[in-house]
């Protein structure tokens, strides 16, 4: 089955800095890679996703890059704000069929004002 590794487990930055979270996956057939944000005590929410036919996707301060050859993908947050503080999860899955994502263990991002 799929195995997703996520690093770092904790990331502490100053407001305004950039933050990068990296994930690797094992199943070369995986072709859909979502990122979820989970604030303390709240439900996970999708913030951005990328499919394997695209190398990069951007949405305002958030971007995701994908390297299919190396089987890794990354989340980039620029100009971080205190409200970005949360746990971020990457996931990998095969699109089509049941689409069941395998999640990483999460990265706790702390943005200091």
Partner 1 sequence: DTGVSQDPRHKITKRGQNVTFRCDPISEHNRLYWYRQTLGQGPEFLTYFQNEAQLEKSRLLSDRFSAERPKGSFSTLEIQRTEQGDSAMYLCASSSSDLGTYEQYFGPGTRLTVT
Q: Give the interface with partner 1 as residue ranges (CB under 8 A).
A: 4, 6, 9, 32, 34, 36, 42-46, 49, 89, 91, 93, 95, 98-106
Beta-carbon-side half-sphere exposure of residue 77 (alpha carbons within 13 Å): 26
Q: Shortest Cβ distance from residue 32 to partner 1 (Å)?
A: 6
Nearer to partner 1, 80 or 107 (CB): 107
Rg (C-alpha) for the chain, rounded Å, is 13
Query: DSSP readout, 10-22?
Result: EEEEETT--EEEE
Nearer to partner 1, 77 or 92 (CB): 92
Nearer to partner 1, 80 or 93 (CB): 93
**Residue 101 per-residue DSSP state:** P
CA 49 to chain centre: 8
Q: Shortest Cβ distance from residue 71 to partner 1 (Å)?
A: 18
Which residues sit opposite 87 in a β-bridge?
Answer: 38, 108
Q: Shortest Cβ distance from residue 106 to partner 1 (Å)?
A: 5
Q: How far from 111 is each of 36, 81, 105, CA to CA, in Å?
A: 17, 6, 19
Q: Shortest Cβ distance from residue 107 to partner 1 (Å)?
A: 10
Nearer to partner 1, 86 or 106 (CB): 106
């Amino acid at each position: 089955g799929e195995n997703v590794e996520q690093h770092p487990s904790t990331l502490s930055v100053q407001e305004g800095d950039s933050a990068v979270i990296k994930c690797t996956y094992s199943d070369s057939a995986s072709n859909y890679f979502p990122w979820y944000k989970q604030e303390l005590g709240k439900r996970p929410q999708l913030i951005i996703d990328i499919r394997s036919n695209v190398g990069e996707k951007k949405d305002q301060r958030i971007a995701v890059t994908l390297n299919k050859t190396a089987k890794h993908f990354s989340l980039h947050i620029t100009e971080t704000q205190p409200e970005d503080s949360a746990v971020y999860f990457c996931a990998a899955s095969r699109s089509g069929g049941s689409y069941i994502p395998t999640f990483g263990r999460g990265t706790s991002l702390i943005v200091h004002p």
